[in-house]
Amino acid sequence: MRRFCMMMGIILITLINSMLISGCRSGRNCPITSLLLEKSEFPPGATADSISSPLSEKPKESAARDYWSGTPAYHYVGRYPSLILSKENYREIDERTFNTGKHDGPWVTPEELTYISPIADEYHVACGMAGAWYQCRMFGRYGEYHVLFWAYISDQGITIQTFESLLQAIDTKMVQCLSEKK
């Protein structure tokens, strides 16, 4: 009996560890590149570079794309192997994304930027100086997915209103993915 209990304990510990490591990853099957913004979602005349995927030093499932719409923009999506790893990495990446340094920041959310994702688990939007240019950034966690989007803001390029509509377009893509059958 003692041997049986010890064996069941080992099996139970192994099962719990494997669940923690996998984080009970969802069975979603959204192609990572389908979560990036399309050129058509930007104002007319915008251009989009080819998609880079996967990205080095990012999760294996990752993709990014640069855009030009009078000013540059960048969109990144990465899927972590587990919800646990996604949660653990979010805080550190968020701090780096909105770090105020000698040439960057301070990062604050302007009053006219009112959109807050209703579906992201964690979400941070702010604007500040990035070098000599005013830039807005969004970093969000949607389950096991991390999403980063930034754009330089100007009257001749991407405005605050355009930035906000692009955040809504990102959420539309993410809600479609997150609502897939698991």
**pLDDT at residue 28, rounded to an integer:** 73
Per-residue pLDDT of 133-173, as tens digits, reads 999 999 999 999 999 999 999 999 999 999 999 999 999 99
CB atoms within 10 A of CB 179: 10
pTM: 0.84
**pLDDT at residue 57, rounded to an integer:** 84
Select from 105, 107, 103, 96 the least CA-distant residue to 57. Answer: 96
Domains along the chain?
27-178 (3.40.1000.70)
Residue 26's pLDDT band (boundaries 50, 70, 90)?
low
Per-residue pLDDT of 110-143, as tens digits, reads 999 999 999 999 999 999 999 999 999 999 999 9
Mean of per-residue pLDDT scores for the chain: 87
Return the DSSP state at 132: T
- Residue holding tokens 């069975």? 27
**Over residues 64-92, mean pLDDT:** 96
